[in-house]
Structure 1
Amino acid sequence: MVRVFIAISCPEELKKGILEIQKVINKLGKMKLVEPENIHLTLKFLGHIDDNKLNKIIDALNFISENRKFEMSLRGIGAFPGPGYVRIIWIGVDKGSDKIMIIQKGIDEKLSSHGFERDKRFHPHFTLARVRSIDKQQIRRVLQDNKTLEFGSFEVTEINLMESKLSPRGPIYSIIHTFELS
């Protein structure tokens, strides 16, 4: 059994700005910051999969490679479920969001025939931190002050099927399969 998800990785050149905002939010409460090497956009979390089902999933997802490369820009920070009750702090996607939504919907459609539930609400984002407790007034101010902060853009050239191994120090991600965009 492997624990898997489908994702777009964040390129190295955007991580400096991401680390800067992580330093700011980390002072506001108790949270677990996402390690720079683990920052990604999850298109779908699949959970634990039998090794023999993995090849069927890869076959079902081969359509991803039919998509063209596209530009994605990261802009603004936000929170789930919202600024009044914060559990996840994220960076939003501006340019390329529509393309991500189309690809994610295709993933949902292809995998629903393999017993995976469709995502009810998908919001493209890169998770910065998982929050245990936080100063609500301070985080509201930081979210407001940074809602249009530009983190840069990059060309999305691939989408990866990733394995997530849980360890005491946090998850360790590795690529199982890469779907190159055309």
Structure 2
Amino acid sequence: MNRMFVAVIPPESVIEDLDEFLSVRRDAASFRWSAPDQLHLTLAFAEHVPDRSLDDAIERLETAAGRRTPFELTITGGGAFPNVAEGKVLYAGVETDAAEELDRVAAGTRNALVKAGVEVDGGRFRPHLTVARTGTPVELSNWVRLLDAYRGPAWTVSSFALVHSRLGEGPRKRPVYEVIAEFPFG
């Protein structure tokens, strides 16, 4: 069994910009901050991907990507899950003029996995990049306001990736992410 997710991975320059914005603020809270190389926009998450389903999933994801067209995306604003008053996850938001296309990309990846016999976790798609986890519920409204002041550079999303997530195998027990395959649009 493999723990995997399908994600849009921002280009290095976009991640560097967000990381620079956050780096001077990280010492103000003892959150578990996401490592810059782990920032991504999850489209679909599957806790258990059977080995027997992997080839079919890859084929179906390739087909799903082929049906999509590139679009512009910007990391901007922020929020907290489950809410700002009792947040456990602090995230950066995204903005696009192609919200319907982004929703179609997410739905297509979820459908591809399900048709390959993979159970997809999570509820409704809510586009975001997790920047920190708190462990216990924390009032995060000041942090959300801070992220609301952030607007990163726009970039063209033209692919998504299938990523294998190995929990606790990285430095300081962080997960290790390995891109299994990248799927270009069109």
For residue 24 of structure 1, report the CA deviation from its aligned partner: 5.2
Indicate if the aligned counterparts of 1:89 and 1:128 stay in contact, CA closer than 8 A: yes
CA contact (8 A) 2:77 2:150 kept: yes
What's the CA shift for 1:60?
2.1
Which residue of 106, 115, 122 maps to 1:104? 106
Q: Does 1:87 align with 2:88?
A: yes
Is 1:18 matched up with 2:18?
yes
Is the alpha carbon distance of 1:179 and 1:135 closer, same or farther for their aligned partners in structure 2, counting shifts above 3 Å?
closer
Q: CA deviation at 1:28?
A: 4.1
In structure 1, how many angstroms separate the alpha carbons of the residues matched to 2:142 and 2:127?
A: 23
Matched, 1:67 2:71: no
CA contact (8 A) 2:26 2:33 kept: yes
The one-letter code sitting in structure 2 at the alignment partner of 1:39 is L
Shift of 1:132: 2.3
The offset of 1:21, in angstroms, is 3.7
SS in structure 1 at match of 2:123: coil
Segment drifting more, 165-174 vs 22-31: 22-31
- Compared with structure 1, are the counterparts of its residues 135 and 164 closer, same or farther at alpha carbon in structure 2 (3 Å cutoff)? closer
Unaligned runs of 5+ in 2: none
User: Contact (CA 8 Å) 2:158, 2:185: kept in 1 or not?
Assistant: yes
Residues 75-115 of structure 1, C-alpha deviations (whole Å, 9 max, x = no match) = 11211111101111111111143321111122233333425
Distance 1:8 1:153 in 2: 14
Whole-angstrom CA distance in 1 between matches of 2:87 and 2:20: 20
Distance 1:60 1:145 in 2: 39
Task: Indicate if the aligned counterparts of 1:30 and 1:134 stay in contact, CA closer than 8 A.
Answer: no
Matches within 5 A, 1:115-154: 115-117=118-120, 119-133=122-136, 136=139, 139-154=140-155
Matching residue of 1:156: 157
Could you tell me how far apart the structure 1 residues matched to 2:122 and 2:175 are? 22
**Cα gap change, 1:163/1:68 in structure 2, threshold over 3 Å: closer, same or farther?**
same
Partner Cα separation in structure 2 for residue 172 and residue 150 of structure 1: 28
Q: Matched residues, percent identical?
A: 25
TM-score, normalisation: structure 1:
0.87
The alignment partner of 1:30 has SS state of coil
Aligned to 1:178: 182
Counterparts of 2:10 and 2:21, CA distance in 1: 15
More strand by percentage: 1
1:118-173 deviation per Cα after TM superposition (whole angstroms, max 9, x unaligned): 7432100111011125763xx32232243252112111121111111221521111
- TM (norm. structure 2) is 0.85
What is the aligned residue count?
A: 180
SS at match of 1:67: coil
- For the 8 Å contact 1:112–1:118, the answer to whether it is kept is no
Partner of 2:8: 8
* 3-state SS of paired residue (2:15): helix
What displacement does 1:44 show? 0.7
